[in-house]
Structure 1
Amino acid sequence: MLTPFSGVLYLSIVSMWAFQMSNSWALSSDSMSIYDVLSSHGLPVGLLPKGVKNYTLDDSGRFDAYLDQACNAKFESELYYDRKLSGWLSYGQIGNLSGISAQELFLWFPVMGIRVDVPSSGLIHFDVGVVHKQFSLSMFETPPNCTASDHPPNFEDVGLIRKSDGYLPYRSDEGDCARTETLCSS
C-alpha cells in the first residue's frame, strides 16, 4: 500500500535520477568538441576551421560556434568564416547556415546550407544561393588552418548590388516600346 511518505520518497528518487541524468548529458555534451558533434551528425570535421573554442547546441539542433577572429581557409575555392557561425544541424546536413562565405571567381557568396549524401557518394554539397557547388568529401577530412581576415567585401555597400522589391520599373511614357521587341525611336 502506498503511503504519503512513500509517494514523496518515490517522487524524490525519480527527481534526483532525472536531475542526475540531465547533468550527465550536459557534461557529455560539454566535453564534446564541435568537431565531435559534426562527426556524430555524419558530417566531416573539416567543415569548420581549427580554433573553434566555444559552441552551443540545443535539443532542436540549433548551434552557434565561435572563433577568436574572422578568417579565410583555402580549399578548392576560398572560404571565409565570421567570428560567429550558426545554423541547424541534422544528420548529414547543416541548414540556415550563417557566418560562412565562399568565393567564386571574384565574388563572395554566403553559404546557406551544406549536406552530404546518405549513403555517401563521396561528395559534399554547398548551397550558395545562386549555385550549388559540390566538392570531394575527402577535402574536408581535417579542420583547415585559417588565416586572419577582414570580411569579404559587402557589394551592397559599394553599390554593385542593389536590393530590389521584386518589381521591374515601368514608365508610362515608354508606350509599347517596353513591351515589344521592336525598336522605338526617341
Structure 2
Amino acid sequence: MATEKEGGIVKKGPEEGLKFAVSLLQQFDLPEGLLPLADVIEVGFVESTGYMWIVQAKKVQHEFKIVSKLVRYDSEIDGYVEKKKIKKLKGVKARELLLWPPVSEITVDDPPTGKIHFKSLAGITKTFPVEAFALGQ
C-alpha cells in the first residue's frame, strides 16, 4: 500500500481533506457529491498514477434521495481516478435489495448525457442521473 501512495499529495483533517476530495472530483469531471464524507482524517492523491485514497474516522452511510439509493462508505476508500471515471474502487457499497455489493467502477458519460454508471464486482451496472450526486444531495 505504501508504494502506491509514494509521491502523493496528502491533506489531513476534516476541512482540508474534504476540500481536497471535492477538488479532485471537480478536476476529473465527477459529481462533487459522489463521496459524502464525514470526519475525514486524510485524503491523498498520486498524480502520476491517479491513485486516490480517503481515510475517515468511521464508516458513513448516505442516502442519495433523488434516486433512493443507500450507499455505505468504509473508513478507508481507495481507487484510481481519471477523467469522468473511478476504477478499482474499494470501500464503497450500494444497497441492492437485501445485498450490499461493492462498487468497483464509477463512470460519467463522455460526451455528457447527464448519466452516471456504477459497476459492481458482480458485473451489475446501474445508471442514474448525474445531478442525483451533486454536492448537498
TM-score by length of 1: 0.59
How far apart in 2 are the matches of 1:33 and 1:109? 27
1:66 lines up with 2:58 in the alignment:
no
Compare CA radii of gyration and give the structure with the larger one: 1
CA gap 1:143/1:93 in 2 versus in 1, 3 angstroms: farther
More helix by share: 1
Residue 106 of structure 1: aligned partner: 98
More strand by share: 2
Deviation of the 1:130 alpha carbon: 3.2
1:121-166 CA distance string (max 9 Å, x none) = 101000013310011100111155xxxxxxxxxxxxxxxxxxxxxx
Q: Which runs of 5+ in 2 are unaligned?
A: 1-8
One-letter amino acid matched to 1:42: D
One-letter amino acid matched to 1:138: E
Note if contact 1:113-1:126 (Cα within 8 Å) is conserved in structure 2.
Answer: yes
Runs of 4+ in 1 over 2 A off after TM superposition: 29-32, 50-53
Percent same amino acid among aligned pairs?
29
Note if contact 2:37-2:60 (Cα within 8 Å) is conserved in structure 1.
Answer: no
CA gap 1:44/1:99 in 2 versus in 1, 3 angstroms: same
Q: Which runs of 5+ in 1 are unaligned?
A: 1-25, 145-186
Number of aligned residue pairs: 117
Residue 54 of structure 1: aligned partner: 42
